Structure 1
């Protein structure tokens, strides 16, 4: 949480809140983090204000940090990497 100096809040959100988001991204092992521009539900589509066609500054910072740790160019925080035998 403190590693990048970002304020983190973990909670469920209402779909109506998405229109207030500045950035959004989805994380996964293969995609690392990918920007999202909208969310589609049975009730329609909600767009993030920026459209997120490209990574915003926070999404980019997360992407660069995660890939840096994966490639060994950035030191991982303690406890992030585990040896599996």
Structure 2
């Protein structure tokens, strides 16, 4: 099963527009991943699935990204496996369209351009 990389969590977009995040007891409970799951469901109206992701599924996703604090989302254009290379055309040069919407919405919340969910932003000065 696919879990995470050394410095980021995976997110996957299915061909029918669902956000899938790998589920495992060993995955770091990333705030960025959880925030993207919330944004996908509550801001973009997407179906969100948190479930085990088998490596054989990788070739079937429309978009793949790595998420974390520093990059928010970095697109994935290629995955090399012992069985061969998986190309993800949506991530080769830029983010795919759904990943870009997730990125822009989360950044908009962080920059106070989009209203944040209650409790997400605390004014300190």
TM-score range, shorter chain: 0.7 to 0.9
1:12 aligns with 2:52: yes
Residues 17 and 79 of structure 1, relative CA distance in 2, 3 Å threshold: same
Counterpart Cα distance in 1 of 2:119 and 2:81: 37
Counterpart Cα distance in 2 of 1:51 and 1:61: 13
After TM superposition, where is structure 1 displaced by more than 4 Å over at least 4 residues in a row?
Answer: none
Task: State how 1:1-85 maps to structure 2 within 5 Å.
Answer: 1-48=41-88, 50-52=89-91, 53-81=93-121
Structure 2's unaligned 5+ residue stretches are: 1-40
Bigger Rg, which one: 1
Q: Higher helix share goes to which structure?
A: 2
Structure 1's unaligned 5+ residue stretches are: none
TM-score using structure 2 length: 0.57
Query: Is contact 1:19–1:47 with CA below 8 Å preserved after alignment?
Result: yes
Q: Higher strand share goes to which structure?
A: 2
Query: Is contact 1:3–1:77 with CA below 8 Å preserved after alignment?
Result: no
Counterpart Cα distance in 2 of 1:40 and 1:83: 44
